[in-house]
Homo-oligomer: A and B are copies of this chain.
């Protein structure tokens, strides 16, 4: 039975997140349904690299599945895109080794969180305007302490069940985009609501006299109560998932 890897992009606005839930429109649900039609096989289970929440977007979500089919990988992509609604696109499909699993094989994930400097009706579906103005330099100082290996449990929302709370964060930096500033963050794995909590905490720390020290204090405390608010979902996008060469 061959195994396939898909790269999936979606506008999360109209989805109740990635994961299948009875009675809800989810990306996994829509994909599995389209896949069953394309391959003529019922009950295909698709595994995603990241379980994005309701309203969160993806440009580079990765999904894997195994199915007894002779349809070539490229044909699966084109057939799926014909069945799928406009707000989900399969941007790549490959046959991969049997050992490949979208979540377990992932080495790193890259997320982006976009802030609006002012309200913008064109960009508000993909970005968040915080209630107070922000200072780009203070935000940069606030996230500088995050790079490296740390216990990020202070940034895990209630309901998170990850047993390993230490993450290796390769990148945590802000850059300019059309609407304001954008937080790019790369790590081996992420805890529940971690990126959105990092953004909320960075905004709070940016108002402190020493934004870097304020962030270090939250990180060291290992206490969710010290972190800032959870930034809303629409600013978040799963941009990319990386794998070791041999597994993808």
Contacts and interface: CB of A to CB of B under 8 A. Distances in A.
In which size bucket is the chain A interface? 20 to 34
A178 B112 CA distance: 13
Contact of A9 (B10, B57, B87, B121): B121
A207 interface: no
A107 B59 CA distance: 41
Contacts of A120: 9, 59
Contact of A122 (B86, B121, B237): B237
23 contacts: A9-B119, A9-B120, A9-B121, A9-B122, A10-B121, A11-B122, A11-B125, A57-B121, A57-B122, A59-B120, A59-B121, A59-B122, A86-B121, A86-B124, A87-B121, A89-B119, A89-B121, A91-B119, A122-B126, A122-B237, A123-B126, A125-B125, A178-B178
Nearest to A88: B121
Given A89-B119, A178-B178, 18 more contacts: A9-B119, A9-B121, A10-B121, A11-B121, A11-B122, A11-B125, A57-B121, A59-B121, A86-B124, A87-B121, A88-B121, A89-B121, A91-B119, A122-B126, A122-B237, A123-B126, A125-B125, A177-B178
